[in-house]
Structure 1
Amino acid sequence: MPAAIFARLALTEARRGGLVWLALASVVLALALGAFLSQLALTESRMLQAVVVAALLRVCAVFVLAAQVVASVRREIDDKRLELMLALPLSRATQYLGRFAGFTSLGAALAAAFALPALLWAEPAAVLYWGISLACELALVAAAALFFAMTLASLVPALAATAALYLLARSMSAMQAIAAGPLAEASLPHELARHVVDAVALLLPALDRVTRTEWLLYGAPEARGYAMSLAGLLVYAALLAAAGVFDFERRAA
């Protein structure tokens, strides 16, 4: 299958580029920091350690994958390798989706590796739910990073745009809570701002509902809500991939 060639190339480049060592360093750093902070806690030190390690591993996984995707694509473009790839008798969609499949597989591998330390504090079923959710979240990050890396002119704007999308999606529920809080001013400008925040929230994935640390502490989430949250992430990732294919076809035509 032609798309599998590009997926394998993405995985090979990640392995040769030292991503394995970077992921290992992230796990060690998270475990060390979690162990240090747990020594400072007077009570519930084990719970604090689980919270710190899970949060750090999630952030590290997102950053590592986004940086790898953006750097890999921009290197292809800057070294003119992308032009050589476009000369192959393969459709642009096949090439783009092959890369996306490779980066998504890389995200799944990172999710599995980063979920393993959680077995020190949580039940296997809860860790499985958390790891699958992280894999879906990383698929969305891969789709966003690939889209921005192909669309924007250089590495820094592409990485910044990916980070901005992720952070905005993660914090949107907090913004909505602040806008609708009891201390909010009852005025027309405030109402307009609240509606704008609600409208923006509809356009973003609900990242605050997935890969939650509380699953590791209190058990697996409710199945229906869990499935709907992950489905929303995958739909958003598919839309970003479709937008990327459309832009890639149009630009290369």
Structure 2
Amino acid sequence: MDTPAPAPAAPRGRATVAGMVFTFAHYTFREMVSNRLLVLIVLFAVLGLGLASFLAEVAITEHEQVQLALIAALYRFCAVFLMMIFVVSSIVREFNDKCLELYLAMPVSRAIYFAGKVCGFILCGFVLAAVFAAVMLLYADWRSLVLWCLSLTAELAMVAVFAFFAVLTFNQQITASVFITFFFYMLSRLTDTIQLISEAPILAETLGNNIIEFMLWILRAVLPRLSNYTQTDWLVYGGGWEQLPLILASSVVYSGLISAMAMWDFMRKNI
């Protein structure tokens, strides 16, 4: 993903804020296309179909349900992984190639640049989710897939914003940014499961277990509950639309908080 996208043209006249944000979002989406990210999406989609078909044969019963569950889990992980890599590589490239300095030399504020890039990343996330959902039309009902696609888009939006924040915090270090973003994602997805295990009655009441439970309680209070997002049960058993408003609201709140931290870090940097 090293192919640079063409730089946005300088604003003409009194360009509106919305127009400048749209310009950065547009060129971010063009960068995804020029980097052949769509080719990788199609490749992962085809490989996922083959792998899920092979693993479903191992299941003793409910072959179709097992196959759909495997495809959904694999596609969700692929979408998150591709989004992390794309966001980190895109921002690091613009820092290294001095594109950001060129943008900020124009009558464009850092807030407009940040908002445009985030909107572009969210658009790319929607395309990612839509392509994977379209492939799963072979196995699932379209109404469940619409819900799955919207939820995955909200999930990818948070991942994109956090990856942006990680790049700024770790001074454009690719490895550290990808690692901390992946750690944030996995911790947000698995915190509920880890807490259920820690509360198992077979575990002894020790000081160490109490400390771990307290730390997990803090993490649950701070981190987004990504285990409620993009659930495979929606595709296999239907339903779940009543959870969508809470999912979207949670995504907006957490994305806004992370964006505020990222903007604070971005504004104080000397570029």
Give the TM bin, normalised by the shorter chain.
Answer: over 0.9
Q: Note the aligned Cα RMSD (angstroms).
A: 1.3
Gaps of 5+ in 1: none
Query: What residue in structure 1 maps to residue 47 of structure 2?
Result: 29
Q: Find the aligned partners of 1:215 and 1:35 in 2 and give their Cα distance.
A: 20
Does residue 197 of structure 1 match 2:216? yes
Matched, 1:251 2:252: no
1:143 counterpart (143, 150, 161): 161
Deviations 1:176-232 (A, max 9, x none): 111211122212332222111101111100000110001100002151x33213321
Structure 1 range deviating more: 83-92 or 19-28: 83-92
Residue 53 in structure 1 maps to residue 71 in structure 2: yes
The letter for the 1-side match of 2:220 is: A
Task: Report the AA paired with residue 140 of structure 1.
Answer: M
Equivalent position of 1:155 in the other structure = 174
Q: Does structure 1 conserve the Cα–Cα contact (< 8 Å) formed by 2:147 and 2:241?
A: no
Give the TM-score normalised by the residue count of structure 1. Answer: 0.95
Aligned to 2:91: 73
Q: Distance in 2 between matches of 1:203 and 1:97?
A: 24
| Structure 1 residue 185 corresponds to structure 2 residue 204 | yes
**Counterpart contact for 1:125–1:220, Cα < 8 Å:** no
Cα distance per residue 1:114-144 (max 9 Å; x no partner): 1112222222111111111001001111111
Decide which structure has greater helix share.
Answer: 1
Equivalent of 1:115 in 120, 123, 133? 133
Q: Does 1:220 align with 2:239?
A: yes
Question: Which residue identity does 1:182 align to in structure 2?
Answer: P
Displacement of 1:150 after TM fit? Answer: 2.2
Q: When the two structures are superposed, what TM-score results if normalisation uses the length of structure 2?
A: 0.89
Aligned AA for 1:149? Answer: V
Q: Name the SS for the 1:144 alignment partner.
A: helix
For the residues of structure 1 that align with 2:60 and 2:207, how far apart are their CA atoms?
A: 48
Letter in 2 for 1:213: T
State the one-letter code of the partner of 1:239.
L
Residue by residue over 1:147-169, the C-alpha shift from the partner in whole angstroms, topping out at 9 and shown as x without a partner, is 11222121111111110100110
Kept in 2: contact 1:118–1:216 (CA 8 A): no
Q: Distance in 1 between the 2:109 and 2:97 partners?
A: 21
Give the letter for the 2:181 counterpart: T
User: Separation in 2 of the partners of 1:150 and 1:16?
Assistant: 24
Q: Is the 8 A contact 1:133 1:230 kept in 2?
A: yes
Unaligned runs of 5+ in 2: 1-18
SS at the partner of 2:205? Answer: coil
The residue that corresponds to 1:85 in the other structure is 103
| Moved segments of 4+, more than 4 Å | none
1:130 and 1:216 in contact (8 A); partners too: yes
Measure the CA separation in 1 of the matches of 2:194 and 2:27.
40
Q: Which residue of 1 aligns with 2:12?
A: none
Q: Which whole-Å CA distance do the structure 2 matches of 1:195 and 1:184 have between them?
A: 15
- For 2:75 and 2:85, the matched residues in 1 are separated by 15
Matched-pair contact (CA < 8 Å) for 1:58–1:134: yes
Which residue of 230, 233, 250 corresponds with 2:251?
Answer: 233
Distance 1:222 1:184, change over 3 A: farther
Corresponding residue number in structure 2 for 1:174? 193
Sequence identity percentage: 35
- Residue among 111, 117, 142 paired with 1:99: 117
In 2, the alpha carbon distance for the partners of 1:233 and 1:122 equals 25
Aligned residues between the structures = 252
